[in-house]
Amino acid sequence: MSIKGETKQRNLILGILLVLLAVFFLSPMLVVFMNSFKSKLFISSEPFALPKPDTYAGTENYINGSEKIKFFSAFGYSLFITVFSVISILLATSMLAWYLTRVKTKFTSFAYYLLVFSMIVPFQMVMFTMSKTANLVHLDNPVGIIVLYVGFGAGLGTFMFSGFIKSIPLSLEEAAMIDGAGPVKTFFLIVLPMLKPTAITVAILNTMWVWNDYLLPYLTIGTEYKTIPVAIQYLRGGYGAVDMGAMMAMLVLAMIPIIIFYLFAQKYIIRGVVAGAVKG
């Protein structure tokens, strides 16, 4: 067999494997989507069957679910917390990474490695202390939780930005300072625009994390300001009863915004990860 024929055969096998992997990873979402249009009595008995005339519930699950959990209120809280948390993480970690990378002292080295170490500490180790502290300092609200997200997102963001900043020629910043630009102006006019690939990647990863996060909002802002993941859990009734139809419908509505966001931004992920990981 010629080299061209071997390459074509290899590409065919690889393509089949990728299609199978795609089906495997997408199948849970397809099952949820299918069941969101079934009557709740048939979801448990026929979870993998397509909706039929006698099992089809139309938009009833979506209407009931939205009313029960006050979906649009939860959507507003989730959107507010996600947008401002991600913006805050981007600004804070990019500025911190620039300072830690350019200012070489024992303190900056210690701070950098401390932030990297924080990435491997499980959230469960600090969640009770964190929730108590958040309550004491009045961070148990939609604005205060943004501060908590910045703290938990600081490690990954600083690590990725630092790797990219090391590849930026120092002469560009020196030239800006010679022209009279101060540190703030140099960062926002020279450094920050060059961080765009990594910034987009950090934004995507943190958006998916904050939007889908259940534990942190539940522990801090709980029942008063319900985000979508927290609100969906309240579809569970007493003695383990669950309105599966409404839950499936709300899961679909919760997935749609993040899937759309990811599809528009996915091309930047690998580019940004490579830029931040292999340079410096």
Confidence of residue 246 (pLDDT cuts 50, 70, 90): confident
- DSSP classification of residue 239: G
Do 101 and 258 form a contact (C-beta atoms < 8 A)? Answer: no
pLDDT in tens, 40-84: 778 877 788 888 888 888 888 898 888 888 889 999 999 999 999
CA 213 – CA 259 distance, rounded (Å):
15
Q: How many CB atoms lie within 10 A of CB 115?
A: 20
Confidence of residue 1 (pLDDT cuts 50, 70, 90): low
One-letter amino acid at 135 equals N
The closest alpha carbon to 159, from 84, 101, 88, 207, belongs to 101
- The distance between the two most distant Cα atoms of the chain, rounded to a whole number of Å, is 76
**End-to-end Cα spacing for the chain:** 44
CATH of 60-277 given 1.10.3720.10, 3.10.20.740, 3.40.50.2300, 3.30.565.10? 1.10.3720.10
Q: Given its phi and psi angles, is residue 103 left (phi above 0), alpha (psi -120 to 50 degrees) or beta? A: beta
pLDDT in tens, 110-153: 999 999 888 888 888 888 888 888 889 888 899 999 999 999 99
CB-neighbour burial class of residue 58 (10 A; exposed 0-12, middle 13-18, buried 19+): exposed
Per-position b or e across 178-209, b if 16+ CB within 10 A of its CB: eeebeeeebbeebbbeebebbbbbbbbbbbbb
Distance, C-alpha 210 to centroid of its chain: 5
The whole-model pTM stands at 0.85
Tally of helices (H runs) and strands (E runs) in the chain = 15, 0
Do 118 and 155 form a contact (C-beta atoms < 8 A)? Answer: yes
